[in-house]
Amino acid sequence: MAIINFGGVEEEVITSQEFSLEKARKVLENETVAILGYGVQGPGQALNLRDNGINVIVGQRDNSKTWDKAVADGFVPGETLFGLEEAARKGTVVQFLLSDAGQVATWPQIKQCLNEGDALYFSHGFSITFKDQTNIIPPENVDVILVAPKGSGRTVRTNFLDGSGINSSFAVQQDFTGRARERTLALGIAIGSGYLFPTTFKNEVHSDLTGERGVLMGCLAGVMEAQYNTLRKHGHSPSEAFNETVEELTQSLIRLVAENGMDWMFSNCSTTAQRGALDWAPKFRDAVLPLFDELYENVVSGVETKRVLEANSAPDYREKLQIELDLIKNSEMWRAGAAVRALRPENR
């Protein structure tokens, strides 16, 4: 364990220096890790665990695209790839990585497959925190733990392959065996986390849902669209509007932020850009703060989770989702984006 100062506040973090991969392998040497779900988080975590020498099996619905993907990734039907329930019965660590709606739908069956002393692992605090909506209440004779990578499942894998790892939060909700924290940290290191920081199931889902709807995805998409449309309204070409809105951010400026922070990015831009950014940042902050307050209240109250479960459990969910995604893809802004990306030197 290391104590790090974050903006004047000291926090605990766990790195591979404090909890080595060798130690993780030792902790998990007698475990069978069953990955239930091979959609978003499943592939990255399963492949990283396997590459790190952990005994991994996958549980997935047969005759599905994700089953075929698991086969393509080297999991063998009947040996390391099984149906959901069979994998859950075989696992001593059951990583419940189906979608939130998928967890609700399959929980009655998966619950019956858990054995005393198993670890029930989540990468999202949704199902446990909002148990009144999900009805997911684990039995008392298992560990209930969480490792939540702060990124997409795809990034969990790509960061692992390039050696950087991705930061993850961790939590122990229920410690039946007395080994829950040790198991959690071992799994967090073994999936390739850059470092681990403590949270609770409740804090994880409250921050995660706020972030996804806010800066990370929803706010970002909305702000980009607003600026692009403003530039187009005033006669700027699609190429110019897209480059000033998206391409410069993703290909230049955000990399400077990632390297050394926002102040360093500001200091490496023109004095005109610095002055404008410093003057306008507080205006944007104050304008959106009421929206973030409303968003956080909706998350905590369960309004957002109720909508997620209702929408994602509908039989025509995927068809409706594709319609919404196609509206974005086919908008002028993102068609311009496709053209701009095709002109990058590596794509020519």
Residue 124 bears catalytic tag: yes
Cα 253 vs. chain centroid, distance in angstroms?
Answer: 23
Q: What are phi and psi of 177, to 5 degrees?
A: -85, -15
Closest to 109 in 3D by CA, of 130, 93, 131, 87:
87
- Here the tokens at position 285 are 């902050």
Are residues 83 and 61 in contact, defined by beta-carbon separation less than 8 angstroms?
Answer: yes
Q: What share of the chain is helix, strand, coil (3-state, %, to 5)?
A: 55, 15, 30
- Here the tokens at position 107 are 């929980």
- Here the tokens at position 175 are 């410690």
Q: Is beta strand 81-82 parallel, antiparallel or unpaired with respect to 93-96?
A: unpaired
**Which of 124, 206, 234, 236 is flagged as catalytic?**
124
What does the CA dihedral 127, 302, 294, 325 come to, rounded to 10 degrees? 60
Q: What is the DSSP string of 116-128?
A: TT-EEEES-SHHH
What residues act catalytically? 124
